[in-house]
Structure 1
Amino acid sequence: MFRAQSHDHGAGQQPAPDVAMVHTASPGWPADLKPREWRATTLRWSMATSGSMAGVELIISMSSRQDGLHHPGCFVSQFVSQEIRTMLSASSAPAPSLQLRDGRTLTWQCYGDDAGRPLLVFHGFPGCHVQAALIGDAARRAGVRLIAPDRPGFAGSTPDPDRTILSWVRDVEQLAAHLSLLRFGVLGISCGGAYALACAHEIGERLDYVGLVAGMGPMDVPAIRRGQHPALKVLFGLSRLHPRLVTPMLRMDQKMFGIDPMRALQRLASMMTAPDQAFLRTHVAEAETFARSLSVAYRQGIDGAMSEAALIARPRGFELADIRIPVHVYQGGHDRNVPPDMGEYIARHIKLSRYRFFPDEGHLSIVSNAADEYLEDFVASPQQ
């Protein structure tokens, strides 16, 4: 279901020109009030975990200029911004799939400019392709085609109990061949950064660009983990000992995001830094998309997340110093998932690194707020 909550814009304010009219019945409209007597509103939306677009409806809570009271449940003709409509449809669209050579299925989704320059986006942990919808509008403006694959066990991609961080590169190569991509860029978000670096190490000659946004540093270097959130220290510490030790934590996460993604995100927000909390409060559509991405990530259960936690916690199978191509590192100053020491460590150990520090950003806010900058870097990167 599509739920909307009104926000007062003041009487007489005109909607932006890039809006789409949604027509619905209005059985709950107060009989004693004419439409012009209601304050102009904008809409907040949320979508049920099923992701179905069938039976979309608006539930609007509006306040009258006459009595100042709220009248929930009124079904009205109202304006929904193009941005929200696009993000809703993009984040819920069915994901294409590819059968890999070993018989596994790989799912992915595209966002941004369909005719744009290709950039593969590797989601965080836990996560899935839906996270790339957070930067879909920025990519469209920049002329970038985002291709967001799901790692094994997440969303619709088949689990692979034998996978490694380096084995992801083989999946990427098969997806690139399927999409007829000779050259492309890779962008790793949070734990997805490890996989972007694996691609830089293994197939650097095919990459026009490598970017890490709040990219997780090596977890086997204790000095760079001092500023990390205690909950993540526990999670990855247990995963390093044995993947099954984090089963209770992941089961709880799966249950919460399966029942009510937005409520689960609100609970998660209490652990976030101030910039991330402010971002979730002020960017409603993005918050909904992020919550949905966590729900979809657990669609097959927790095996994918359990395997991922163990991989991230242990040595990655390659050395940063062996990466011979430029790597862009984008680091937030208020990030406790990936503290600044991690970004600085990565930048120091990759010879051709390019480090950009965003002192006012957190772990989540940097993904959207710095999107124009890192997409601009990708577009500016030379094509060979």
Structure 2
Amino acid sequence: MFIGFAAWAYQALRPPPPKICGSPDGPPVTAPRIKLRDGRNLAYQEFGVPKDAAKYKIISIQGFASCTLDEDVVEEFGIYTVSFDRPGYGESDPDPNLTVKSMTLNIEELANKLELGSKFYIIGYSLGGMITWGCLKYIPHRLAGAVLLAPIVNY
């Protein structure tokens, strides 16, 4: 009887499987997404001047908050920024095997699919600082520069 109760309690406390955006029972897809080489989707949003006219192309990596740039600064300096939903958040598919290296390679693939060129900038805000360090370690040849804003990392 105890084993039966334990099995029932385990099933009752176990969370339901996630509902993936765009799946039959999941929420609708509203953001642009790219398909990664492993078949998952990564949602993103573009800000600033058109990509072709931009002097600076930046990928913004956020933790659990977001930061925006003043519209006048964006226009004056010709800044194009792309932000994305981390795997498992927003409209991006989850990655059960997520590591700093795989996240870094996702960013490189995002830059390739959006045709940001051979070099781009990275801004890591808060928890995004950890991924920025990953970019510095795994894809330094692709970075024109990196910025850490209030990073939560071990320096």
TM-score bracket, normalised by the shorter chain, equals 0.7 to 0.9
Tell me the amino acid that sits aligned with residue 46 of structure 2: C
Higher relative contact order (CA 8 A, sep 6+): 2
- Distance in 1, matches of 2:81 and 2:125, equals 13
| Map 1:275-294 → 2, pairs under 5 A | none
Match status 1:107 vs 2:65: no
Q: Which of residues 61, 64, 72 is equivalent to 1:122?
A: 61
1:146 is paired with a residue whose SS is strand
Q: Deviations over 1:248-281 (max 9, x none)?
A: xxxxxxxxxxxxxxxxxxxxxxxxxxxxxxxxxx
- Distance in 1, matches of 2:70 and 2:90, equals 19
- TM-score, with normalisation over the residues of structure 2? 0.72
| Map 1:175-254 → 2, pairs under 5 A | 175-181=110-116, 182-218=118-154
Change (3 A) 1:145 1:187: same
Q: Deviations over 1:315-360 (max 9, x none)?
A: xxxxxxxxxxxxxxxxxxxxxxxxxxxxxxx3xxxxxxxxxxxxxx
- Distance in 2, matches of 1:205 and 1:113, equals 25
Tell me the amino acid that sits aligned with residue 57 of structure 2: P
Shift of 1:145: 0.4
- TM-score, with normalisation over the residues of structure 1? 0.30
1:167 is paired with a residue whose SS is helix
Tell me the amino acid that sits aligned with residue 105 of structure 2: R
Q: Deviations over 1:75-99 (max 9, x none)?
A: xxxxxxxxxxxxxxxxxxx521011
Shift of 1:209: 0.5
Greater than 3 Å deviation, 4+ residue runs: none
What are the ranges of 5 or more consecutive residues in structure 1 without an aligned counterpart? 1-93, 219-345, 347-384
Number of equivalenced pairs: 121
- Distance in 2, matches of 1:188 and 1:206, equals 16
- Distance in 2, matches of 1:206 and 1:160, equals 23
Q: Is the 8 A contact 1:112 1:136 kept in 2?
A: no
Identity rate, percent: 33
- Distance in 2, matches of 1:168 and 1:136, equals 28
Q: Is the 8 A contact 1:118 1:144 kept in 2?
A: yes
Match status 1:149 vs 2:84: yes
Tell me the amino acid that sits aligned with residue 37 of structure 2: R
Q: Is the 8 A contact 1:98 1:106 kept in 2?
A: yes
Shift of 1:140: 3.0
Shift of 1:141: 3.0
Larger radius of gyration: 1
Q: Is the 8 A contact 1:190 1:215 kept in 2?
A: yes
What are the ranges of 5 or more consecutive residues in structure 2 without an aligned counterpart? 1-29
Q: Deviations over 1:219-250 (max 9, x none)?
A: xxxxxxxxxxxxxxxxxxxxxxxxxxxxxxxx
Tell me which residue corresponds to 1:38.
none
Answer 1 or 2: which has greater helix percent.
Answer: 1
- Distance in 2, matches of 1:173 and 1:146, equals 15
- Distance in 2, matches of 1:120 and 1:136, equals 16
